Amino acid sequence: MPEKNLHPEANGSTGIRTATTSVPAEVIEFLGRLVRPIYVAHVVPDADALGSTLALARAYAREAGGPRVSLPAGSVSQRLGFLVEWANVQVAAVEEFPPADGFVVLDTAKIERCNVGPALKGTNWSAGRALLNIDHHATNTGFGTVNWAVEAGSTSELVYHLLVAAERPIDAVTASLLYAGMHSDTVGFSLATTSQGALAAAADLVRRGADVGRIGERLCRSQSRSEFELLRTIYGNMQVVGDGQVAYSTASYDEIHGAGCTAADIDEQVNVVRSLEGVRLAMLFTEGTRGKTRINFRGEGRVTVVELAQALGGGGHAQSAGAVLSSPIEETVTRVVPLAIEHLKRFPG
């Protein structure tokens, strides 16, 4: 089936555009046609991936059939489990993938990053069926049958506009899920990606019943003891190099699991590294699986890091990107830190 890219103002190979409130009619028609779809986000789903996917599933729920959400066991962090509990949607079993009549992939730049679980990873799980790709990553590869890749502060913001345009229900729980995704991906609406439109969308979600207080508490002020112990490790392992402008921290497989955490619990700890005054490029190296290292990159000011991530086989946004290398953490740090220092020279400050 030929691919269709719904972004006429194409920008290079990604075709990212900026009109976040314009929802293509074909996206709405695609969703309306599906009877037994499965919705999928990226591996190690963050609040935006979960919020956008779960909210869309709630809004398109039916009495018979309707969407299932791919959430393989152990793929959701301790901190974000409450979003799944709030959503109360049907979770897809492995045996439900073959009879699905289509797929919706959200907040995922590459199909290889889909959260389908070990039983399906590396297989052709979509098997030629229709696939809608909704994403806000600048490096989205356009892997869907229909692709709606739009530059925005979060995929949850896109889903909000989609639900409004499609006149789908946004109850208090759905509003809370979308608000959580928007809040998280903009770091509390503090990043430059927070547009006037994003703030207007967030205000409308509050009007519709988004529970700002509980979301703030669960996202920002509720840590399990194991998550707290992991933060101790991140703080303790911090290093500053490159004349104080590059900072990084590490957490090995033994340190992560010794704290009582897993790879699913690694995500926003990179904000610890980026918070140090004077740091323009921050990195977090974590070995959630022994012998495989994930790198989270963050840039401040004019510093972009997506080029660095892409050079290592990853991707993401201009100032928030990542990559995964099949090498132990010590080897990865030794290789990548000098690359980061050299990369920063492109941005004289």
Q: One-letter amino acid identity for 245?
A: Q
pLDDT for the residue numbered 5: 52
pLDDT for the residue numbered 14: 35
Query: Does the structure show a pLDDT above 60 at 323?
Result: yes
Q: What is the percent of the chain with per-residue pLDDT over 90, rounded to a whole number?
A: 86
Q: Which two tokens stand for residue 242?
A: 């490159």
Q: What is the percent of the chain with per-residue pLDDT over 70, rounded to a whole number?
A: 93
What distance in Å separates the CA atoms of residue 119 and residue 240, rounded to the nearest whole number? Answer: 40
pLDDT for the residue numbered 279: 97
Mean pLDDT over 259-286 rounds to 94
pLDDT for the residue numbered 19: 42
Pairing status of strand 281-289 against strand 292-299:
antiparallel
Task: Please return the burial class of 209, using the count of CB atoms within 10 Å of its CB with bins 0-12, 13-18 and 19+.
Answer: middle
Mean pLDDT over 56-80 rounds to 91
pLDDT for the residue numbered 193: 85
At 212-259, the pLDDT tens digits run: 999 999 998 888 999 999 999 999 999 999 999 999 999 999 999 999
Query: In degrees rounded to 5, what are phi and psi of residue 295?
Result: -120, 125
pLDDT for the residue numbered 63: 66
At 324-339, the pLDDT tens digits run: 999 999 999 999 999 9
Question: For the chain, what is the mean pLDDT?
Answer: 92
pLDDT for the residue numbered 9: 34
Query: Does the structure show a pLDDT above 80 at 1?
Result: no
Task: State the pTM of this model.
Answer: 0.83
Query: Does the structure show a pLDDT above 60 at 115?
Result: yes
pLDDT for the residue numbered 6: 54
pLDDT for the residue numbered 66: 79
Are the C-beta atoms of 316 and 109 separated by less than 8 Å? yes
pLDDT for the residue numbered 126: 95
Q: The sheet that has 292-299: what strands, in order across it?
A: 239-241, 246-251, 281-289, 292-299, 320-325, 315-316
Q: How confident is the model at residue 267 (pLDDT cuts 50, 70, 90)?
A: confident
Query: In degrees rounded to 5, what are phi and psi of residue 139?
Result: -100, 20
Torsion, Cα 297 302 307 309, to 10 degrees, reads 0
pLDDT for the residue numbered 10: 33
Beta strands in the chain (DSSP E): 4-5, 37-40, 68-69, 102-106, 131-135, 146-149, 239-241, 246-251, 281-289, 292-299, 315-316, 320-325
Residue written as token pair 């190979």: 13
Mean pLDDT over 292-305 rounds to 96
Residue written as token pair 């609040």: 47
Query: Does the structure show a pLDDT above 60 at 3?
Result: no
Q: How confident is the model at residue 62 (pLDDT cuts 50, 70, 90)?
A: confident
At 140-192, the pLDDT tens digits run: 999 999 999 998 999 999 999 999 999 999 999 999 999 999 999 999 999 88
Sequence-ordered list of residues with C-beta below 8 angstroms from that of 255, at least 6 positions apart, any chain: 230, 233, 237
Smallest Cα–Cα separation from 3: which of 140, 110, 144, 127? 144
pLDDT for the residue numbered 21: 63
